[in-house]
């Protein structure tokens, strides 16, 4: 077993074997890549985050900082398989009309005063078990349809979708991309992750509901309610039977201790066995750019390790006492809002195994990097999805979001830090 692992695990090139010019090149590539990750694109160019990730990875190999054969070993294929498989599973659910069916069932039965907690807890629960970015794509039309029908202002409900998707996704390994990374590198089981961070998500959703209700309570639109599309109420339940069975099977496997990547891959394979659906429709549901981003990021960070740049992190960790949960939480939140949560986790993951209590360190990293996404409107991809999907009907400005996002972030981070400090 140890021999097999040694063949798979990357063997870093000792920094002293690299020329000074290669170390300098690695530092420049790493810095420019993370600058683009922070800004979203390279100024004056049409290079986005996935594009920069690939360019950075190619440069790391081209300058000899990462050997070509080593580049493949730096890529964590378990994370990629888990992310891709969950996208396929959720995409098949979407195409089968599962989320439209839920929309029709709930919206036709809800009273206006029940809509806010319904939006928050449905978004949070779905985001806990599926990728939160994808859930936002589904929940924004749901929130808009419900508010039109009930004559309510949509803004608080859209903010509820954004914040609840981030809060709910903290609960499990499959909630968001950075948790998938942490699940792969930490070796923590799905059930252990859920038991430790599930309460943080639940309390966070309650706080989200209370805060949004206080800030937007009683804001109704004095106009006639719109009729919801009849299309959502004519979905054949037979078409939902197979997806529902597969999802239950996958979730049981997760909770039963099966490797998440393997269980998700089985679910995706079962979903793709069909006589009626064109598989290209499923492939269109996959965020290929995110997968490309991950591949490049693995190689870039691997190059930084080869060049000895990560050693500076270890020195900084000693000076800042990052083993303290409160300090580590603050640093993670700050870095996640500067360069985005996935690149932040890719850098900080090297520190956690050296902590006295690495299990708690992994949980703090997952909690802080995820909840940090609620701080600003650009703090997470989920927030941007909500803003863009609702753009034609509702404008969500920086202050519109911040009046909810800032207090929600501070409250949930305080709860997460206190809870993890207590359960450790």
Backbone angles phi, psi at 30, to 5 degrees: -60, -45
At residue 270, the pLDDT reads 92
Q: Which residue has the higher pLDDT, 368 or 8?
A: 368
pLDDT digits (tens, 9 = 90+) for 396-423: 888 889 899 999 999 999 999 999 988 8
Alpha-carbon distance 217 to 210, whole Å? 10
Supply the pLDDT for residue 15.
52
Does the pLDDT of residue 2 top 50, yes or no?
no
pLDDT digits (tens, 9 = 90+) for 323-372: 888 889 999 998 888 878 888 898 888 889 888 999 999 999 999 999 99
The mean-pLDDT minimum among 39-48, 69-78, 197-206, 367-376 falls in 39-48
Which is nearest to 159 in space by CA: 380, 402, 364? 402
How many other C-beta atoms lie within 10 A of the C-beta of residue 93?
A: 24
**Domain boundaries defined on the chain:** 19-74+291-304, 75-218+236-286+388-407
**What is the average per-residue pLDDT within 295-313?**
85
Contact 235, 166 (CB under 8 A): no
Rounded Cα distance, 117 and 115, in Å: 6
**According to DSSP H, which parts of 40-189 are helical?**
49-62, 68-74, 77-96, 98-107, 112-129, 132-150, 155-169, 177-186
Task: Kindly state the DSSP code that residue 41 receives in the 8-state scheme.
Answer: B
pLDDT at 9: 53
Task: Tell me what the mean pLDDT of segment 112-119 comes to.
Answer: 88
Query: Cα separation of 122 and 136, whole Å?
Result: 11
What distance in Å separates the CA atoms of residue 232 and residue 104, rounded to the nearest whole number? 5
Backbone angles phi, psi at 152, to 5 degrees: -115, 155
**What's the mean pLDDT in 368-386?**
88
pLDDT of residue 365: 95
Q: For 321, left (φ over 0), alpha (ψ -120 to 50), or beta?
A: left
Q: What is the pLDDT of residue 49?
A: 85
DSSP assigned state of 234: -
pLDDT-based confidence at residue 218 (cuts at 50, 70, 90): low
Output the average pLDDT for the chain: 84
Please tell me the distance from the alpha carbon of residue 423 to that of residue 221, in angstroms, as a whole number: 45
What is the pLDDT at residue 99? 75
Question: Would you state the pLDDT for residue 10?
Answer: 58
What is the per-residue pLDDT for 17?
64
DSSP letter for each residue of 101-116: HHHHHHHTT--HHHHH
CA angle 403, 337, 378 (to 5 degrees): 55
Which residues have CB under 8 Å from 84's CB, separation 6+?
268, 286, 291
Residue 316 burial (CB count, 10 A): 12
b vs e for 365-398, b when ≥16 Cβ sit within 10 Å of the residue's Cβ? Answer: bbbbbbbbbbbbbbbbbbbbbbbebbeeebebee
Q: At residue 225, does pLDDT exceed 70?
A: no
Integer angstrom CA distances of residue 330 from 137, 264, 340: 30, 33, 14
pLDDT digits (tens, 9 = 90+) for 16-67: 467 778 888 989 998 898 888 877 778 888 888 889 999 999 999 999 898 8
Helix axes of 77-96 and 260-272: crossing angle, nearest 10 degrees: 40
Q: How far is Cα 390 from Cα 143, in angstroms, rounded to an integer? A: 10
Please compute the mean of the pLDDT values over residues 209-235 and round it to a whole number. 62
Dihedral (CA of 123, 381, 104, 270) sign: negative
The predicted model gives 375-402 an average pLDDT of 84
How far apart CA 287 and CA 373 sit, in angstroms, is: 19
pLDDT given for residue 5 in this prediction = 39
Residue range 145-187, pLDDT digits in tens: 888 878 888 999 999 999 999 999 999 999 998 999 999 889 8
């Amino acid at each position: 077993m140890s021999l097999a692992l040694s063949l798979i695990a990357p063997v870093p090139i000792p920094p002293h074997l690299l020329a000074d010019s290669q170390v300098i090149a690695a530092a420049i590539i790493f810095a420019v890549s993370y600058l683009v990750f922070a800004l979203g694109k390279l100024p004056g160019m049409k290079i986005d985050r996935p594009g920069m990730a690939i360019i950075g990875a190619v440069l790391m190999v081209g300058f000899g900082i990462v050997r070509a054969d080593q580049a493949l070993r730096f890529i964590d294929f378990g994370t990629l398989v888990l992310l891709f498989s969950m996208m396929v599973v959720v995409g098949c659910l979407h195409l089968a009309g599962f989320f439209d069916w839920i929309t029709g069932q709930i919206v036709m039965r809800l009273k206006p005063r029940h809509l806010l907690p319904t939006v928050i807890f449905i978004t949070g629960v779905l985001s806990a078990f599926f990728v939160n970015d994808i859930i936002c794509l589904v929940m924004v039309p749901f929130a808009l349809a419900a508010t039109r029908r009930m004559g309510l202002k949509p803004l608080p409900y859209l903010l509820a979708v954004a914040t609840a998707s981030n809060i709910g996704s903290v609960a499990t390994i499959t909630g968001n991309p950075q948790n998938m990374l942490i699940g792969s590198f930490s070796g923590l089981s799905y059930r252990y992750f859920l038991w430790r961070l599930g309460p943080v998500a639940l309390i966070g959703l309650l706080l989200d509901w209370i805060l949004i209700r206080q800030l937007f309570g009683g804001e109704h639109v004095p106009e006639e309610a719109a009729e919801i599309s009849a299309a959502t109420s004519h979905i054949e339940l037979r078409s939902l039977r197979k997806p529902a069975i597969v999802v239950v099977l996958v979730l049981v496997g997760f909770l039963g201790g099966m490797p998440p990547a393997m269980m998700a891959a089985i679910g995706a394979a079962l979903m793709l066995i069909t006589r009626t659906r064109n598989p290209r429709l499923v492939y269109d549901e996959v965020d290929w750019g995110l997968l490309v981003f991950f591949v490049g990021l693995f190689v870039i960070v691997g190059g930084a390790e080869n060049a000895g740049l990560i050693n500076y992190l270890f020195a900084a960790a000693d000076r800042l006492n990052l083993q303290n949960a409160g300090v580590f939480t603050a640093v993670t939140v700050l870095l996640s809002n500067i360069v985005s949560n996935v690149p932040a986790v890719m850098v900080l993951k090297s520190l956690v195994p050296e902590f006295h209590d690495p299990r708690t360190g992994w949980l703090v990293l997952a909690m802080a990097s995820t909840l940090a996404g609620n701080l600003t409107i650009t703090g997470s991809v989920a927030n941007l999805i909500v803003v863009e999907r609702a753009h034609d009907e509702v404008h969500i400005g920086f202050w519109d979001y911040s009046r909810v996002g800032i207090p929600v972030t501070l409250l949930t981070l305080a709860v997460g830090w206190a809870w993890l400090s207590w359960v450790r």
